[in-house]
Structure 1
């Protein structure tokens, strides 16, 4: 079970890093669209921020799974 727990921890860390990068890239996209006053790109950036947050939340929730 130790190997399975290590794989689970690695997966959770990968998901959290990916979600964080997705969130940060959404902030960059949103900021660029805000500077250019481009409405559709602002909406896209905002949804990307929300998606990154959801991925982070899912990774954190997944980390609470305990294997016996």
Structure 2
């Protein structure tokens, strides 16, 4: 059981890191789109931010899993 707990903690940390990086990249894309007044780039940045938030929320669910 300790192995499963360790694996879940590792997955949670990896998902948090990935979601955070994805959100930061979305913010950069959004800022570039706002600067250039580019609608598609702005939309892409917003969706990347939302995707990063969903990934982080999924990582939070890993913490609630128990065996």
Q: TM-score range, shorter-chain basis?
A: over 0.9
Match of 1:21 in 2: 21
- The CA deviation string for residues 6-36 of structure 1, in whole angstroms up to 9 with x for no partner, is 0110011001110010001000000011000
Q: Over aligned residues, Cα RMSD in angstroms?
A: 0.6
Normalising by structure 2, report the TM-score.
Answer: 0.96
Normalising by structure 1, report the TM-score.
Answer: 0.94
Match of 1:45 in 2: 45
Which ranges in structure 2 are unaligned for 5 or more consecutive residues?
Answer: none
CA distance in 2, matches of 1:61, 1:5: 14
CA distance in 2, matches of 1:6, 1:58: 17
Match of 1:62 in 2: 62
Which ranges in structure 1 are unaligned for 5 or more consecutive residues?
Answer: none
- 1:58 is displaced (CA, Å) by 0.6
Query: Which consecutive aligned stretches of 4+ in structure 1 deviate over 2 angstroms post-superposition?
Result: none
CA distance in 2, matches of 1:3, 1:58: 21
